[in-house]
Chain A
Amino acid sequence: MRIEQHPILNFEKKKEISFIFEGKQVIGYEGDTIASALHALGVKTLSYSIKDKRPRGFYCAIGNCASCHMIVNGVPNVRTCITPLTEGIKVERQHNKGVIK
């Protein structure tokens, strides 16, 4: 859900960016981070905790807390809240500590 009209801020229509989330093609916009684009799509769960598999989302949104780690283009532990959204990236939920290939 995006804000269309705001009393103080101007949100202009931006260029669409298509990317892949959990195998499905979805749309974000230029200027989004991966986490903000997913949140706008209604995706709140970004990963599952290592031991108890509890659903996790972001918390601080500025790169301090490590709650938003996801696998991006095969690379784990990416802080999606501060990573800019780019065309065609593959984003997956992380279920473990992450394996660096």
Chain B
Amino acid sequence: MIKRELIIIGGGPAGLSAAKMAAEANLDVLLIDRSPALGGQLIKQTHKFFGSKKQNAKMRGIDIAKKLINDVKDYKNLEIISNATVVGLYPDKVLTVFYDGKYIRYQADAVIVATGASEKFLAFENNDLPGIYGAGAIQTLMNVYGVLPGKDVLMVGSGNIGLIVTYQLLQAGVNVKAIVEAAPNIGGYKVHASKVRRLGVPIMTSTTIKRAIGDESLEAVELISLDSKWQEIEGTNQIIDVDTLCISVGLSPMHQILSMVNAKMKFVPELGGVVAVVDDINQTSVESIFVCGDALGIEEASSAMMEGYLTGLNVAKYLGKPHPNSEELIHNYHHELDLLRNGPFGQKTLIGMKKLKEASHA
């Protein structure tokens, strides 16, 4: 059994940020990530980020990933292992990790779960055909492996991810025939929508997929329009020839590891699904097990970084080894998070967090 003061599960923006604060506070830290590369979803984000300067605005996601990794690589008290999957987490803070063909057991004083999110799926006839991929998968193929996903794409979903991935497809030289959105309005930032609209990609609101068509792989899709009650309007079917369908209908927090330790969970739609009920310092109902980033509620990478910093700082304090600038940094990062959540796009998160807070006092 290998002992560590703090083990962080997940090396994306939240995990890396938490690791930086914990390492600076002189904790003995292990960061575990199951992918070959650190950086989580940032390593596919070729666009410039929003937010403020402190949140790395104007930097491309791929460069933010490099910066976050650079920020933590030189600490002697921080060990990072990648291509390592946490397969078990126990209430006494024991972890079992599958790494390099072996099972290794660790004992932590505290654990931070920063496992991020996974893509939601959409139910329609033939949705299992090859050629139908999640938006993240298409980004991964294009931006990490340099492989073209297909020739003609239909994008399902007009949230930020659907709009951004459409733009990235166009940059890679792929034809995007249209974006379909079941809701009556575009879900993401209008600047993203305007960017693809001027490039000739139509955005069809109140439209959804009825079925996919193809034998060995996708060849076409049938679309249908929806009325104000989300019901299909008869006679509005149309068939579009595409070889690639990109499903971008939202993300769901990857909370499963917390269900393993029987943490108190709650279904909060505003946060994307089932999340752990946490206190003010993001501690779950299981003592010394914390959670932050998209695993606690779907937001943005900018919020994940701020939450990661805060949770790292709070865990260091909790373990009796506060960061030298603990109070000042906690105050500053809270302020940054508030700024991010202040506008109309942050309201959903605030409602979700209020529901979580009520559940934690119950």
Contacts and interface: CB of A to CB of B under 8 A. Distances in A.
B134 interface: yes
Contact of B60 (A8, A46, A57, A65): A8
A25 B132 CA distance: 27
Contact of B148 (A3, A7, A57): A3
Interface in A51-76: 54-65, 67
B36 interface: yes
Contacts of A49: 128
B217 A57 contact: yes
Contact of B171 (A2, A6, A46): A6
Interface residues of A, number: 34
A32 B217 CA distance: 22
Interface stretch (B19-27, B138-146, B319-327): B138-146
A18 B149 CA distance: 22
B171 A61 contact: no
A65 B252 CA distance: 13
B134 A61 contact: yes
A81 B132 CA distance: 15
A3 B173 contact: yes
A39 B141 contact: yes
B147 A2 contact: yes
B65 to A, nearest CB: 13
B143 A58 contact: no
Nearest to A52: B128
B254 A64 contact: yes
Given A40-B147, A44-B131, A55-B129, A60 B141 contact: no
B77 interface: no
Given A8-B46, A45-B130, A58 B137 contact: yes
Given A3-B147, A32-B145, A36-B145, A65 B136 contact: no
B35 interface: yes
A79 B217 CA distance: 20
Interface in B152-205: 171-173
Nearest to A4: B146
A63 B76 CA distance: 30
Contacts of A46: 130
B118 interface: yes
A31 B145 contact: yes
Nearest to B215: A55
B140 A57 contact: no
A9 B173 CA distance: 13
B216 interface: yes
Contact of B137 (A7, A55, A61, A84): A61
Contacts of B143: 9
A55 to B, nearest CB: 5
A1 B133 contact: no
A59 B147 contact: no
B34 interface: yes
A82 interface: yes
A67 B140 CA distance: 16
Contacts of B300: none
Interface in B81-138: 118-119, 121, 128-134, 136-137
Contacts of B35: 62-63, 82
Given A6-B171, A55-B130, A65 B148 contact: no
A94 interface: no
Interface of A: 1-3, 6-9, 11, 31-33, 36, 39-40, 44-46, 49, 54-65, 67, 81-82, 84
16 contacts: A3-B142, A3-B146, A3-B147, A3-B148, A9-B62, A45-B217, A46-B130, A55-B129, A56-B130, A57-B217, A58-B133, A58-B137, A60-B118, A63-B35, A81-B137, A82-B36
- Per CB-CB distance, the 5 closest pairs between chain A and chain B, nearest first, are A57-B130, A61-B137, A36-B145, A44-B130, A11-B146
